Amino acid sequence: MFARALVPVRAQQWVQGAAAMALQIALVSEEYVELGETQVDADTVVLTGELLGRSDVHQLLPFEEREICLRADRCIFVPFGSRESGVRAAEVALPLARHLGMKVLFYHTTWHQPGLDSSIPDAHMCEDAKGILEQLKKMGHEGQVAFEYQIELAADVLEGIILAALVHKASLIVTARGTMVRIGSYAERLSGGPVPVLICAQEEGS
């Protein structure tokens, strides 16, 4: 679990929610001002009002939500693609879900496979994405976390993620930056809100 949280701009109201996530809050005013240069531990999550230009820290953007909603009908939402970013997000999301007693929803939206008539989204998944899904299922079972998964054929990936998160009443989207993405990371584009998002830190060297 995260050791502590730095609380910068306009995120103070989430302190209560962060406490529920077993975060020790570091409300030292200078820290966020200096955060641009500060070295932080790998298990520190930064509560922030805006996306920070750093990929080495977990960033939690609460937007307008006052706290993480722990109701039974809520879930932690983990979008995944055909690469390892979904697995990295799940590594953060599953312990968090277990701690909070919430279920996890793994979500994937796939591109339509040309020439395939099927309206079943699973049929359009590529082999890599299927492999990631199997890995996520295994992680869910091993972590003893209640989970579901949903595959869709959304017209737009970002809109598909946000809409599915809204429809499934996600309290938090946990995502990680893809290591190969140069422009238009979905993780970063989710920082437009409105569902609170936890963007996982990128491992050193990745």
Pick between residue 158 and residue 181 the one whose CB is nearest to another protein.
158
Residue matched to tokens 């579901």:
148
Q: Which of 20, 26, 63, 130 binds another protein (CB under 8 A)?
A: 63
Cα separation, 31 vs 94, in Å, equals: 29
Cα separation, 61 vs 51, in Å, equals: 7
Cα separation, 203 vs 206, in Å, equals: 6
The minimum distance between CB 147 and another protein, in angstroms, equals 21
Q: Under the criterion CB under 8 A, does residue 169 sit at the interface with another protein? A: yes
Residue matched to tokens 């302190």:
15
Binding map of another protein across residues 100-139, x = CB under 8 A, - = no contact: ----------------------------------------
Q: What phi and psi values does residue 169 have, to the nearest 5 degrees? A: 55, 55
Binding map of another protein across residues 21-60, x = CB under 8 A, - = no contact: --------xx-xx---------------------------
Contact 18, 96 (CB under 8 A): no
3-state secondary structure of 53: coil
Q: Which of 22, 141, 192, 206 binds another protein (CB under 8 A)?
A: 192
By CB under 8 A, name the binding residues for another protein. Answer: 9-10, 29-30, 32-33, 63-65, 159, 162-163, 166-167, 169, 192-196
